[in-house]
Amino acid sequence: MRKIEHLNKILNIFILFVQIGITLITMIAIYMIFAISDFRGGFDGIIGIAVFQPIMAIVFSLITVFACGLMGLPIRINKKLNEWWRTKFYVSIILTFIGLLFCIMSFLPNLVQQVEYEIDGIMEIVTIPNIFFAISGWFLIAFGILHSFPPYKLQQKITYWLNRKFRSKNNNIVSDRIKT
């Protein structure tokens, strides 16, 4: 039974790294979509999109993953909540889908916002995505992906299969040693 617990820990760590990696890549891509939608041209705009925006995408994505990780810590720590979340794995998929819908809705013509600002004495009105839907969608996507686990029964089957595989290898090694 001890090996199964060890395999579960290794599998959980692997799942955590996959969750973090997929969440970071997704959030960086979404940030860059929002940044490109705000592109107004010019040399300084090109430098911003090519250099500064990717750096900001990484920073904001890391902060978001950290914040969503803290908010979802009870899911990882509490065994009953973790089992419930894993048996109802579709909840995280639904959260991610709602987040994507919110991000798309933030660009709808009747929901966009107009912001007025002044540069060099010239007043300019700029249309931006709806802040509420963009930020809500951003966090729902991050939380949903970061806390997407394989179904609980599937993880148990994988652990059982790995345990049998390692046990049979160890038995073969022991039987080979006995023969020699």
CB of 148 within 8 A of CB of 96? yes
Q: Is the pTM of this model over 0.85?
A: no
Q: Which two tokens stand for residue 172?
A: 């073969």
What φ, ψ does residue 40 adopt, rounded to 5°? -115, 5
> What is the structure's pLDDT at 171?
57
**pLDDT tens digit sequence for 48-70:** 888 899 999 999 999 999 999 99
What residue has token string 């987040």? Answer: 99
What DSSP character marks residue 128?
E
SS3 assignment, position 121: coil
Provide the residue type at 48 as one letter. G
**pLDDT tens digit sequence for 114-132:** 888 887 788 888 888 999 9
Half-sphere exposure of 179 (CA within 13 A, CB side): 6
What residue has token string 């073969």? Answer: 172
pLDDT in tens, the chain (180 residues): 566 677 778 888 888 999 999 999 999 999 999 999 888 777 878 888 888 999 999 999 999 999 999 999 999 899 899 889 988 989 999 999 999 999 999 999 898 888 888 877 888 888 889 999 999 999 999 999 999 988 777 877 877 787 777 776 655 544 444 454
